[in-house]
Every structure is written in C-alpha cells, then in structure tokens.
Amino acid sequence: MNTQDSSHSETADTPYLGDFEKEKLLRIARETLTEYLKTGTTPEYTPGGPGLLQEVATFVTLRQRNGELRGCIGRIEVSQPLYRTVQESAISAATKDFRFPSVTASELNDILIEISVLSPFRPFSSPDEIQIGRHGLLLRKDLRVGLLLPQVASDRGWDRDEFLRAVCLKANLPSDDWRDADVYVFSAEVFEEAD
C-alpha cells in the first residue's frame, strides 16, 4: 500500500512514526473498516514496534476519491495503544459522524483514509502563536469542546482570526468566545492512502 505524507513539517512536538508504521496504521484502518462493515466485528492485531503502542490523540478522516469529506472522528483523551485508537476512530468516522449517512461496504473502494496523529496540546496565549498549516486548535469552555485539525485552516484558506472563529463555532459557541476560553495549539503528523 502506497502512502502519501501530507504533514507540513517534522517538528519536535509531533509524534514521529516511520514509513512502515504509517503504512501499517493505514492497512489496519482499511482492514478494520472492511471487516466491520461486512460482519460487524473488529479484527484483532498484535502489532510490533513502539510507535504503534504509544497513547496519543488521533483522528481518522475518510474522503471520497473526488476529495469530498465522508467522515472524520477522533479521540483526544486516550488510554490505549495508537493502533486501537485508529481502529475505533475509523469505525466511528464511517458510522457515527452525524453529518453523513453511514459508509457502506460497497463504498469502501471509493474512499481514501487519512490519519492524523496529534502532538500534546499546548496552552495558547496569543493568536500570534498560531501557524496556519502547522497548528490545530482545541478550545474548551464550560462543557463545550471544539477541535480543528491543522490541515483544515490551510485547506480552507483561513487566516488566524477565521480559524479562531471557526473553532468557537465548532464548539457551538459565539465566534469571539475564544477570548475567555481555554485554547490549545497542537501539531499533527498527517498521512494518507495514495489515490
């Protein structure tokens, strides 16, 4: 399976995965979706390598081959190995993203999988810290949470202010509530199946 690395740069705050580990995670996500959508069961794995066993926040994005989003769900609080988080996130992206009907087994050949492995979240103190294309945003206020991956701002051509407004709206808050919310920046190692 060929992979395309769409991360913008390797940084010290981004978890590092080798090419083999990235390919393995993409294969696990693909096989998990195939099995789950056909039988309702999740395959078991015993992966080697420390990279697949780290406990880190992860998102799985499903896109149709024409680039249209088909589902995206992840986990920001984790207590299990990365490969298990990828499995759960892949299933959830296919079946629990309320914006879309559930993916069917017959659609899988027309869907590409993208995985984002997130760095630790770092408290934010000023909009000047945000680097579009490198940083994602996590916002928490009261019981509301909004998260946007780094690639969202660059894909949509947003500047820092638009990105901050969008993460507020994602949390179902007024667009300027970031000023008195807890805001964190993070980076992500993003890789996807080759088309």
- CATH code (residue 108): 3.30.700.20
Mean pLDDT calculated for residue range 6-10 = 39
Which is more confident, 145 or 15?
145
Got the DSSP string for 2-63?
Answer: -EEE--S---TTS----HHHHHHHHHHHHHHHHHHHHHS--------SGGGG----EEEEEE
**Shared-domain flag, residues 144 and 166:** yes
**Shared-domain flag, residues 157 and 76:** no
Mean pLDDT calculated for residue range 183-194 = 95
**Shared-domain flag, residues 114 and 177:** no
- Asked whether the whole model's pTM tops 0.85, one would answer yes
Question: Does the pLDDT at position 166 exceed 70?
Answer: yes
E strand or H helix at 83, and its extent? helix 82-95
Residue-number span of the structural domain to which 172 is assigned:
122-187
- In the prediction, which pLDDT does 8 show? 37
**Shared-domain flag, residues 105 and 15:** yes
Instruction: Give the dihedral sign, CA 7/55/2/113.
Output: negative
**Shared-domain flag, residues 180 and 143:** yes
pLDDT tens per residue, range 80-125: 999 999 999 999 999 999 999 999 999 999 999 999 999 999 998 8
**From CA 18, how far away is CA 7, in angstroms rounded?**
13
